Amino acid sequence: MPTVSLRNEPVRVLVADSTRMQSQLLVGALRRRPEFTVSSCLMESEATLEAANTTPIDVVLVNAERNGDIGGLLATVRRLHLMHSEIAVVVMVESYDRELVLNVFRSGAKGLFCSAETPFRALCRCIHSVHNGEVWANAKQMRFLLDVVTHVPSLRVVNSQGTRLLTSREEQVVALVADGLGNREIAHELGLSEHTIKKYLFRVFDKLGISSRVELVLYAMSHGDARPAEWLAGGV
């Protein structure tokens, strides 16, 4: 059975696409479905955020070009997630690999839809699913995500007696810094305050004899390995 919206009102969809013809085709197809109201904008950060700021939107469809600026697209998705967490973002692609899947969901997207593998009617189910608070990912994508959940980069730093220098929480903070997250995002991920994250970083800097996030990332790249995740919600 297709997933349907929990609300009686139409789902408000924004299509963000840099290809005008493709955008028109997608918008036209969605507008023929009575359960959606659809608007569109250019696939660029300022235009997408402006649309989100001025128009009531439930779901944003971000269409990734085959040879487009993926880094810029992911930055737009992250800004949307941070500024409008109530909006569900779906990234549409023609193909994907492990790195793209991880980066899409790390950026805050609620779905990754592969148009080459899945028919249009599935896109409609995808929109309803993310609107209802679910995540849209196929079995292959979920395997990529589960692999990251169970194994995260960490530092195994020990002294000459083999004693660990970093606590499990400090290793978590270092892993997220190495992943490119800022203090606010790390605090949100771990259920802590930004002030607490800063204290952890100062403590890590002191233990490792470094003085900046750049040095910490370089240290993590050269000394880090993978271990089973030990995510501690909140606390110290």
The secondary structure of residue 108, as a DSSP letter, is T
Q: What pLDDT, in 10s, does the model give residues 14-33?
A: 999 877 777 788 899 999 99
Which residue ranges of the chain lie beneath pLDDT 70?
1-7, 66-68, 149-162, 222-236
Work out whether the CA dihedral 114, 118, 124, 130 comes out positive or negative: negative
Q: What pLDDT, in 10s, does the model give residues 159-182?
A: 566 677 788 888 888 888 887 888
The pLDDT of residue 5 = 43
The pLDDT of residue 50 = 92
Give the whole-angstrom CA distance, residue 56 versus residue 62: 17
139-157 burial code (b ≥16 CB/10 A, e <16): eebeebbeebeeebbbbeb
Q: What pLDDT, in 10s, does the model give residues 186-207?
A: 888 788 899 999 999 999 999 9
CATH number of 149-228: 1.10.10.10
The pLDDT of residue 132 = 94
Contact assessment for residue 141 and residue 147, using Cβ atoms and an 8 Å cutoff: no
Give the whole-angstrom CA distance, residue 122 versus residue 127: 9
The pLDDT of residue 191 = 81
Contact assessment for residue 95 and residue 53, using Cβ atoms and an 8 Å cutoff: no
The pLDDT of residue 67 = 59
> Can you name the CATH fold of 11-137?
Rossmann fold (3.40.50)
Task: Give the burial class of 54: count Cβ atoms within 10 A of its Cβ; 0-12 exposed, 13-18 middle, 19 or more buried.
Answer: exposed
The two domains 11-137 and 149-228 share their CATH topology (first three levels equal): no
The tokens of 150 are what? 């169970």
Q: Of 229, 233, 224, 230, which is closest to residue 154 (Cα–Cα)?
A: 224
The pLDDT of residue 87 = 95
Model-wide pTM > 0.85: no
The pLDDT of residue 4 = 46
Work out whether the CA dihedral 96, 133, 37, 77 comes out positive or negative: negative
Element of type H or E holding 98: helix 98-106
Other beta carbons less than 10 A from residue 133's beta carbon: 9
The pLDDT of residue 224 = 60
* Domain boundaries of the chain, sorted by first residue: 11-137, 149-228
The pLDDT of residue 8 = 73
